Structures are given as C-alpha cells and as structure tokens.
Amino acid sequence: MLDGGAGGAGDTGGANTSSTGGTTATGSVGAALVINEIHYDPKASGDDSGEWVELYNLSTEGIELAGYSLRDNGSNEHVIQGSHVVPPGGFFVLGRTDETSTNGGAPIDYAYGDDFLLANGGDSVVLVTQDGALVDTVSYGAMAPWPAALAGTSIELDTPTSDNSDPANWQHAVLSFGLGDHGTPGMPNGGTLGGFTVDAAVTPWHDTELKASLHFAPLDPLETHVLQVLASAKKSLRLAFFNVRIAAVKNILEERVKAGVDVHVVLDKKQQDLAYNTMYEELGMVGVPVTLVDNVSAIDATMHDKFTVVDGTIVLTGSANFSDTALNVSDEDLITIESADLAARYTAEFDELVLKGATKSPAYPSNAVIKAWMGPEDSLLSKIEGALDGAKTSIVLAMFQLNTPNIVDALIAAKKRGVTVVVVLDQVQCDAAGATADETLAAAGIPVVKADNQGGMYAEMHSKFAVIDHHLLFMGSSNWTNLGMFYNDENLVIVDNAILASRAEGKFADLLTAYKAPPAASLGLTTGAQTVELTVKNVTLEAGVTVRIKGEPGGPFDPPLALDATTATVKLEAGKRFTYNYEIVQGATLLSTESQSHAFTVPYAPGPFVVNDVFIP
C-alpha cells in the first residue's frame, strides 16, 4: 500500500482530485483504493478462469475505475473498459471471467480476460489511473515470509488498513466460497469456520510427540519443504553440504542475511573447484559467508555432509544435496526434527568443520529415541554393524553405494539366521568397475533390486536409509562404503520410532514399485490388507459436525469415509500409495475442504500403522 493509502475519508495521498455526485472522478489517484485479496492459484477451476483480485475502498466516496489499468511489473496489462464504481467502504472483484460455472463460483464484478495473469510462484499486482498515477501495488511471494503457496486458497490482508507491502499482514483465507476454494471475494476478510475450530499451534509433524517428519523425493515436494524451512529462520542458519546448486536456496540465504539472520555455509572444496560449480562465488557476492572444507584424509575423501540447522532448534538431514535434480527427480530422503539437543550436536559438528577439528560426540543414554553420530570420528560402522547384528525379523535397505565388507557380511549373517533382508541399490553404481556387493548379496540369497532412475540425465537412486525390525530407522549423508565409514565427513541419525519407520518402509515399497521388483511376497515381505489408523490432530468439532476422508476416484476413500470424531481405523493394502484430503461436513453441508493433499504408502510390513495429519483449511 502506498503511504497515505490507509488515510481517512477521501484521502488520495496528496494527488489532485475532484468529485461529482459522491464519486471520485476518473483521473484521480484514489490512494484509498487497496489491493485487499489475491487468488492466484485456484483449484476448483483453472487458472485461466478462476484467478481474481479484490479491491477495497477505504474512503467515504465511490471511486470510478474507468480507464484504470491492472498490470504487473512485466508485460501484462488490462485497461478497464466502461464505468465501474467501487462503493465507499465496499469491495470490487476483478477476475479472468465472470462466468460462475467456470470460475469456481467467484462473484466477479469485472472480467479482464487473458490480458492479466497471476503467477503461482509470485508476481506483482499494480493498479494505476488512466493518467499513469500509481494507486496501489503488491508484489506477493509464494513462500515465507509470505503465506506459502496453497492451491485453492487466496491470500488476504488481515485488515484493509494494514500495510499490504508487508508480508506479515497477509494470511490464507479460511472461509470457502462457490465450489469449494477458500477466499472471501466481495466480502470482509477473515472470519471463522462455523461448527469446528482448527488449532494453529498444532504443527504438521508425522510424529507430533517426537516433532519429526520424513519426506522422500520425487513423490513428496522436497524442494517446497526445504525452501519453506530455510525461509522460516529468524536467528540463525547453518548449512553443511557436499554441494548446493539451486538458485532458490541462494536467494533465500541472501534474503535471510539481509533480514539480520546469522547465516554460514560449509561446502566441499573439491566440488567447488569444479568449473561448473559456482555457488561459492555466488553466495560470496550476495554477502553469505562460506567456508570451504578440503578433506585430504584419503585420495577421494570429501566433506560429504548434507545437514541444515535452523535457529538452533530444527535439523534437516538425509541423502539430498540442495540441487534441482536431488530435490525433485532423484530418489532422496530427508528427515526434519525439532530438537534443541540434536541441533546443538549438529551445530558443534558444523563448528568443527569450520575449525578443522574432530571430537567424538557425547554418549547417549541407552533409551535415547534419537541418536546422531558424526563421521569419521564417531565410528559409524560400529553403529550400523551392531544394529544389523541385532536384527530379529527384517532389514530393508535403500543405498546409493554399498561396498563395506563388514556391512555386506552382517547382512548375509542376518539372512542366515532367518531375518528377511531386501536391498535396493543404484543400477549405475552396481555396474561400476569393481562393484561386487550386489553380486555377493544375491549369491547369498538376498534379493537385490537394481534401480535405474530415468527421471533425468543426472537422476539417481540416491537414497541412504535402512529400517530394522520395523522400528529402527537409519538415515544420513553417508553411503555404506569404506569412504563413508572411515574417511568422509558424514553424519548418521538413528531414530527408534515405529511411526517414522513406517514412512520409510512406505518409501521402500514405492521403490519396489518404481523399479519393477519381483512380487513382495516372493521377497519375503508382508502383503495383504494392513490396519492403518489416521488421526486429524488439530480439529475440534461441535455437535453434529463430522470429519471425513476423501481419496482418489476408485480408491479406498471413494466415496468419502466418515471419521469417528477425528480418527479412522481402516484396512489398506500393503504396497499401495494413497493420496487423500479431509472434509468437514454438517449433515449434507460442506463446511470446509482441504486445499492440500496428504499421502501415505502402506509398507510391506505388519501393522498397525499410525498416521498423524493436520487439517489444512
């Protein structure tokens, strides 16, 4: 909003004005006119029909829009034709089409057609008079500090008098309109959803008590998750990565530095010495401090870590470097955990990388649910080998590279004592000169699935995780190789948690499907219908109001299944991935539906499985 835009009746920011019959004449600046709501990513209709922008008139006089232009900072522009008055203290909605049967049911006051488009990743909305005087402008984003992109949900000002250039004053709409999208076109912003309340304090962790979640590329939106977490930093950011190649990460780090956040990045020197890797220079040019680490403990040793610490409380780690291929195409895994203790351990490791030190991590109590270890100083091999030796029922392993003899021997020993062992390895790595682990395992009767990711030129089956006995999860940056165990700078997180383990085993089932593995039963895995308990954690219902789960056509939640209060216990087929969302109804009336879907792959493992969700209005 321009300075003066929130002024009193008739305030035009100092421009020359005239009025006739209570209507501000065409040609006046009319700074009391506010861009109040933007629906840039409709879901109930296509972008070509469902986009709209809402104006609000703060003054006590009507404002004539004839000749005004709606434009962005690029080439889009539409000149408003004919007489259209925004009433005093009233709303005016401009949209792609006024046909409610195709635009999602939005009440459009003026249709501008295809001259003006709203980009889903962020754009500018500019309103000027016929004389070219700026009335109001908003440059919105699609991630923090702006409300994150949410299909089917508009962004709206908390109040028309707020500064609409400040992202903090914008929020997602919660009320529904028309055919189910969320927004308040032509109505006051805000409002509460009748019949139920949503507790905004409940965050969407897969395990809400542990405050941890897993995401797996390419089926989960890894890039969106990473960028949102990075953008949420208020105090500090520490990133230690083998490689960073995605411009969006650089842009957020630059923005966070400008916002006063303490940012520091560690990168592997050998990677940055390659001509095509320029992130070291690019980050330096925008004021982001970077330390290069040159691991010379062996010829091919690297600083191979892949972890982020946010505000000293949140840790992200896993197999994924921050590149477009890793976050969107390759098979990758990422764990996000909110834990001050865990963050302190990773921060200590970051500081050691910067100072070129190596101190063993403090010991954990035996009952610790989460344990993080740093390589090579913490002897990662002993942690892995000990857990494999203790396996009682099953081991599933997805690993980009595997060549450590002790690990291969431990897998074979587990197979011999009756443990079900199934391994997924990257096809290209298996075919590399000198690679024999796949052949050794197969000769011992262990099923080995060779994964050839064809998603792109550089796509890989790059995951590095294992699940033992359906509850012990191993993740981190390290391949289970001699370099990874003894020389590289690496990290390994071990989580004893059945909820997260089931998510990882679900990803393993996705890998078996994607790479055309033999039938799961022939691999010794559990098949058939398994019990799954789904719970919506953040909704309180009033009498007569019901939550139901709605899935894909022909799936288990078609037609929608009513929950018992906020929980449903169902039988779902092992190995199947289900995408679904929640609806809240009162009788036959739809009160609210989510604009963001959830997904769960039922593992080839014995249930029951617990799925924690939050309702996203």
Please answer whether residues 471 and 236 qualify as being in contact, where contact means their C-beta atoms are separated by less than 8 angstroms.
Answer: no
Neighbours of 74 (CB within 10 A): 10
pLDDT digits (tens, 9 = 90+) for 167-187: 999 999 988 888 888 899 999
Any domain includes 201: no
Residues 547 and 437 in one domain: no
Residues 367 and 453 in one domain: yes
Phi, psi angle pair for 362, to nearest 5°: -60, 150
pLDDT of 176: 83
Assign 483 a pLDDT band (cuts: 50, 70, 90).
Answer: very high
Residues 176 and 313 in one domain: no
pLDDT of 195: 87
Mean pLDDT of 459-472: 98
pLDDT of 381: 98
- Tell me which of 453, 478, 496 is where a domain ends: 496
Residues 50 and 100 in one domain: yes
Residues 434 and 305 in one domain: yes
% of the chain beyond a pLDDT of 70: 95
How do strand 577-586 and strand 589-593 relate by DSSP bridges?
Answer: antiparallel
Q: Between these two residues, 566 and 5, which has the higher pLDDT value?
A: 566
Any domain includes 327: yes
Q: Residue 79's closest CA among 133, 36, 42, 129?
A: 129
Residues 217 and 179 in one domain: no
Residues 138 and 282 in one domain: no
Residues 450 and 584 in one domain: no
Which residues touch 517 (CB under 8 Å, ≥6 apart)?
424, 447, 449, 511, 523
pLDDT digits (tens, 9 = 90+) for 209-257: 999 999 999 999 999 999 989 999 999 999 999 999 999 999 999 999 9
Any domain includes 455: yes
Assign 23 a pLDDT band (cuts: 50, 70, 90).
Answer: very low
Residues 570 and 453 in one domain: no
Please answer whether residues 378 and 360 qualify as being in contact, where contact means their C-beta atoms are separated by less than 8 angstroms.
Answer: yes
Residues 220 and 182 in one domain: no
For residues 556 and 264, give the distance between their C-alpha atoms in angstroms, rounded to a whole number: 47
Q: Residue 538's closest CA among 486, 464, 591, 613?
A: 613
Q: Residue 260's closest CA among 384, 145, 421, 399?
A: 145
pLDDT digits (tens, 9 = 90+) for 204-215: 999 999 999 999
Any domain includes 8: no
Please answer whether residues 95 and 108 qualify as being in contact, where contact means their C-beta atoms are separated by less than 8 angstroms.
Answer: yes
Residues 145 and 179 in one domain: yes
Q: What is the DSSP letter of 244?
A: B
Please give the mean pLDDT across all residues of the chain: 92
How do strand 170-172 and strand 155-157 relate by DSSP bridges?
Answer: antiparallel
Mean pLDDT of 36-63: 94
Q: 0.95 exceeded by the pTM?
A: no
Task: Report whether pLDDT(406) > 90.
Answer: yes
Phi, psi angle pair for 561, to nearest 5°: -105, 125
Residues 260 and 160 in one domain: no
pLDDT digits (tens, 9 = 90+) for 411-451: 999 999 999 999 999 999 999 999 999 999 999 999 999 99
Task: Report whether pLDDT(20) > 80.
Answer: no
How do strand 448-451 and strand 420-426 relate by DSSP bridges?
Answer: parallel
Any domain includes 207: no
pLDDT digits (tens, 9 = 90+) for 83-99: 999 999 999 999 999 99
| CATH code of residue 533 | 2.60.40.10
What's the domain range around 169? 19-191
